[in-house]
Amino acid sequence: AQSVSQHNHHVILSEAASLELGCNYSYGGTVNLFWYVQYPGQHLQLLLKYFSGDPLVKGIKGFEAEFIKSKFSFNLRKPSVQWSDTAEYFCAVTSSGGYQKVTFGTGTKLQVIP
């Protein structure tokens, strides 16, 4: 069975600080990896995704993530956060090919202080 762990449950940063949120997954096969974001009062939306190819993936709003297969990791980064990045971030994984369920991490609540 696949699982996802997010190391940071609550992160507080000042504006312009750099962000890195950890995500590790456990699965024996090929995976598809996602980061979703949930802004306060809004529904989950896709931030970025990795299926294959370049392991450095760029998403919306200046976010990026790097897939490191040897470490089973897919950490999310942003060089300079803004107050509007305050949200909850979920790492998710599905196994490649055909129909498979999505497994989510526990989420990381990011609070950016102006």
Partner 1 sequence: GAVVSQHPSWVICKSGTSVKIECRSLDFQATTMFWYRQFPKQSLMLMATSNEGSKATYEQGVEKDKFLINHASLTLSTLTVTSAHPEDSSFYICSAPPPGLAGGGNEQFFGPGTRLTVL
Q: Report the nearest approach of partner 1 to the CB of residue 16 (Å).
A: 28
Span from 19-27, 60-68, 72-80, 96-104 in contact with partner 1 (CB under 8 A): 96-104
Q: Would you state the structure tokens that stand for residue 15, as one six-digit string?
A: 């504006």
Distance CA 97, CA 31 (A): 9
- Examine residue 60 and tell whether it contacts partner 1 (CB under 8 A): no
Nearer to partner 1, 72 or 104 (CB): 104
Write out the DSSP string of 45-56: EEEEEE-SS-SE
Site residue total, partner 1 (CB under 8 A): 27
Distance CA 85, CA 13 (A): 10
Find, among 75, 96, 85, the residue nearest to 4 by Cα.
Answer: 75
- Examine residue 50 and tell whether it contacts partner 1 (CB under 8 A): no
Distance CA 99, CA 78 (A): 31
Among the listed residues 19, 78, 107, 112, the single contact to partner 1 using CB under 8 A = 107
Q: Please give the residues from 64 up to 93 whose contact with partner 1 meets the rule CB under 8 A.
A: 90
- The residue ranges that bind partner 1 (CB under 8 A) are 4, 9, 32, 34, 36, 42-46, 49, 51, 90, 94-107
